[in-house]
Amino acid sequence: MKKSGVWLDKEKAHIVTINGEEETFVTIKSDVDTHHVTGGSGTRFKGGPQDVVHDSKYMEREKFQLRTYFKNIIPHIKESGKIAIFGPAETFQKFKKELQLNYTGIDKKVIEVERADSMTDNQVKALVRDFFK
């Protein structure tokens, strides 16, 4: 049975797939913007003109970019019988929620969703290997 472990944050996803003795490792980069324009005063005088920041515009763009990022991960894990999801912040939880809403067949294969700090490639491989032993 094929088993996959996904470690992801907003920048990249590391996918380790174990099929018998064979192990594959794939990294998928995200296109999620991490820079947001902040508002501020356009002048040095108090009460001068200020830039208007539309947070909702940035939030919607981020949601769309995350959805596209998650869609790029799906082909690498859809054939797995068991899936474990790891991550350092909230992105891995958003990925699990996306699976619940739009990919119920894959969501049923998720056996673990766990917080894990930032790791090197080899640490991610070891984490997934140890998890499925």
Q: Quick one: CATH architecture of 2-34+55-131?
A: 2-Layer Sandwich (3.30)
Of residues 16, 8, 62, the one with CA closest to residue 35: 62
**pTM of the entire structure?**
0.82
pLDDT of residue 53: 60
* pLDDT for 48 beyond 80: no
Contact 36, 59 (CB under 8 A): no
pLDDT of residue 32: 84
User: In the predicted model, what is the mean pLDDT of residues 110-114?
Assistant: 95
* Every domain of the chain and the residues it spans: 2-34+55-131
pLDDT of residue 105: 94
- Label residue 38 by pLDDT band (50, 70, 90): low
- d(CA 6, CA 129) in angstroms, rounded, equals 12
Give SS3 for 22. Answer: strand
